[in-house]
């Protein structure tokens, strides 16, 4: 038996499928799914961002995992395989939010995480009785999980593998920001793997540079302390995602730095004092952002800031104001997105109720196209402002000003080179996370 697992790309323009030579990082879901599959079953992973989908493949079962912007292409792929008599199963955040929609293009849909339910799907497939929608009754335990099958990926096509190897310590986030899908998909709390299992994975692969792909590595502080203490003897360098309020706990921040943290991806989202509370992000005050950044920088930790434009307090001045602030605070990297009402989020429900969603094409829900009507500017202004912010932030004078005092010469050089990579993507009007 053979299973073909597919990561769809996105439809852009007039039905064209987006292609790249390399992309920033792989989606974890398919390597995880492959690891949950019995060894006697052959598994192949296709990433359509740089590979062609082999519609004539001899695989018995087709698995397609996707997020919202890839949904239209995923449905095209599912329909094509079904026409050819193949059985198709879909999963991922979008399919979990809208399982009935996905089921119209598949024989089965897995809602939520695959652990605990994937063996049932395979058993039903073998017995010729796939049941439609599959959903676990509870979130799975993360103890004893098999390691993701990264060996099935073309690692040279993902920039992350060359910089920091992806490791997952836990899943979920305790916060409930209105625009985020994480809490709905993974639950409103942080669940974790045993620290000794995380350490063994790092040691087994002999890793020296890693990136924790957890949505919030400090989602449970007592676990974070145990993990960071265990990392200290390994003498590694690591990056991860965390909430800005990590700076409020100086002991935890010190431990994070001592354990080798060199970079944090942080959802700052907005520098407006009224925006964040309006969208459920109340665990830090926008007026304290500057102080938080300075505390993190003092520990030698760089920041990759995530910014969202289009919130209700944003007007046409927000782009320059935000970039000016980030440059002044010497933030190493920034990724800008447009507010997007993802399916199943509180934001989607709110904007639908207000009649402000004006675009229901899922391929446009990629974070750099306006799919709703903003309050204080036109849609076109919002989209143009995003790219102007990118160009200003990654302009050569900005790169020099932000990176000239970035620690050691090696670190400074790496940061500058990474900034120039982002600059190249921006000038091509390609979103940096989707690659070249």
Query: Nearest to residue 126, comparing CAs of 6, 29, 38?
Result: 38
> Is the confidence at residue 176, as pLDDT, over 90?
no
Three-state DSSP state, 12 = strand
Task: Report the 10 Å Cβ neighbour count for 250.
Answer: 11
Whether 48 shows a pLDDT value over 70: the answer reads yes
The 10 Å Cβ neighbour count of residue 429 is 10
List the end-to-end C-alpha distance of the chain, in Å, as a whole number.
35
Tally of CB atoms within 10 A around 14: 5
What CATH number should be reported for the domain whose range is 2-135?
Answer: 3.40.50.280
Whole-structure pTM value:
0.94
Does an H or E element contain 236, and which? none
Instruction: Using the predicted structure, report yes or no on whether residue 355 has a pLDDT greater than 70.
Output: yes
Could you tell me which residue, 143 or 175, shows the higher pLDDT? 143
| pLDDT at residue 434 is higher than 70 | no
The residue-averaged pLDDT of 297-302 equals 95
Q: Higher confidence at residue 171 or residue 189? A: 171
- What percent of the chain clears pLDDT 90, i.e. is strictly above it? 77
Helical residues (DSSP H) of 245-345, grouped into ranges: 250-258, 275-278, 289-298, 318-328
Kindly write down the DSSP assignment for every residue of 89-111, as one continuous string: EEESHHHHHSHHHHHTTSSEEEE
Contact 30, 44 (CB under 8 A): no
CA 294 to chain centre: 25
How far apart (Å, rounded) are the C-alpha atoms in residues 372 and 366?
Answer: 13
Q: How confident is the model at residue 279 (pLDDT cuts 50, 70, 90)?
A: confident
Q: Which residue ranges make up each domain of the chain?
A: 2-135, 150-434
C-alpha to C-alpha distance for 201 and 167, rounded to whole angstroms = 8
Residue 290 main-chain phi, psi, to 5 deg: -60, -45
pLDDT higher at 94 or 287? 94
Query: Taking 70 as the threshold, does the pLDDT of residue 432 lie above it?
Result: no
pLDDT band at 37 (very low <50, low <70, confident <90, very high): very high
Please write the tens of the pLDDT for every residue from 108-139. 999 999 998 999 999 999 999 998 999 988 88
Q: Where are the alpha helices (DSSP H) in 232-317?
A: 250-258, 275-278, 289-298
pLDDT on residue 195:
98
- Tell whether the model's pLDDT for residue 298 goes beyond 90: yes
| The predicted structure's pLDDT at residue 436 | 62
Q: What average pLDDT does the structure give for the chain?
A: 92
Q: Residues, the chain, total? A: 436
Tens of pLDDT, residue by residue over 220-264, are 999 999 999 999 999 999 999 999 989 999 999 999 999 999 999
| Residue 406: pLDDT band with limits 50, 70, 90 | confident
Is the domain defined by 150-434 classed in CATH 1.10.10.10?
A: no
The arithmetic mean of pLDDT across residues 12-30, rounded, is 87
- 199: exposed, middle or buried (C-beta count within 10 Å: 0-12, 13-18, 19+)? middle
Neighbours of 84 (CB within 10 A): 11
Residue 182: its pLDDT value, please?
A: 76
Looking at 1-15, 203-217, 317-331, 397-411, which range is the least confident one?
397-411
């Amino acid at each position: 038996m053979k299973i073909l697992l597919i990561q769809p790309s996105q439809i852009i323009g007039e039905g064209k499928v987006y292609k790249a030579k390399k992309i920033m990082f792989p989606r974890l879901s398919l390597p995880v799914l492959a690891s949950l599959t019995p060894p006697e079953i052959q598994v192949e992973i296709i990433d359509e961002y740089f590979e062609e989908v082999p519609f004539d493949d001899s695989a018995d079962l087709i698995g397609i995992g996707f997020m919202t912007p890839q949904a239209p292409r995923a449905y095209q792929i599912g329909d094509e395989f079904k026409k050819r008599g193949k059985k198709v199963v879909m999963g991922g955040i979008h399919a979990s939010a809208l399982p009935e929609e996905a089921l119209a293009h598949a024989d089965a849909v897995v809602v939520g995480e695959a652990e605990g339910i994937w063996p049932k799907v395979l058993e039903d497939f073998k017995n010729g009785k796939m049941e439609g929608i599959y959903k676990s009754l509870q979130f799975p335990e993360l103890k004893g999980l098999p390691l993701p099958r990264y060996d099935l990926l073309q690692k040279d096509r993902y920039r992350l593998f060359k910089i920091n190897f992806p490791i997952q310590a836990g899943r979920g986030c305790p916060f409930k920001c209105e625009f985020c899908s994480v809490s709905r998909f993974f639950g409103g709390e942080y669940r974790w793997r045993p620290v000794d299992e995380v350490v063994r994975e790092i040691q087994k692969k002999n890793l020296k540079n890693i990136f924790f792909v957890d949505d919030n590595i400090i989602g449970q502080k007592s676990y974070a302390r145990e993990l960071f203490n265990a990392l200290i003897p390994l003498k590694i360098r690591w990056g991860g995602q965390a909430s800005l309020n990590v700076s409020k706990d100086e002991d935890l921040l010190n431990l994070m730095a001592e354990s080798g943290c060199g970079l944090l991806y942080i959802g700052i989202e907005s520098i407006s004092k009224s925006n964040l509370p309006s969208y459920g992000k109340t665990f830090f005050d926008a007026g304290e952002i500057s102080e938080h950044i300075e505390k993190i920088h003092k520990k030698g930790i760089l920041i990759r800031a995530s910014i969202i434009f289009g919130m209700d307090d944003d007007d046409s001045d927000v782009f320059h104001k935000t970039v000016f602030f980030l440059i002044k605070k010497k933030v190493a990297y920034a990724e800008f997105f447009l507010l997007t009402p993802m399916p199943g989020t509180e934001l989607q429900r709110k904007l639908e109720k207000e009649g402000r969603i004006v675009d229901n094409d899922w391929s446009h829900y990629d974070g750099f196209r306006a799919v709703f009507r903003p309050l204080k500017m036109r849609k076109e202004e919002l989209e143009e402002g995003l790219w102007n912010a990118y160009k200003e932030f990654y302009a050569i004078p900005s790169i020099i000003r932000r990176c000239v005092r970035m620690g050691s010469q090696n670190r400074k050089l790496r940061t500058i080179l990474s900034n120039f990579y982002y600059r190249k993507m921006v000038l091509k009007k390609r979103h940096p996370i989707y690659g070249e």
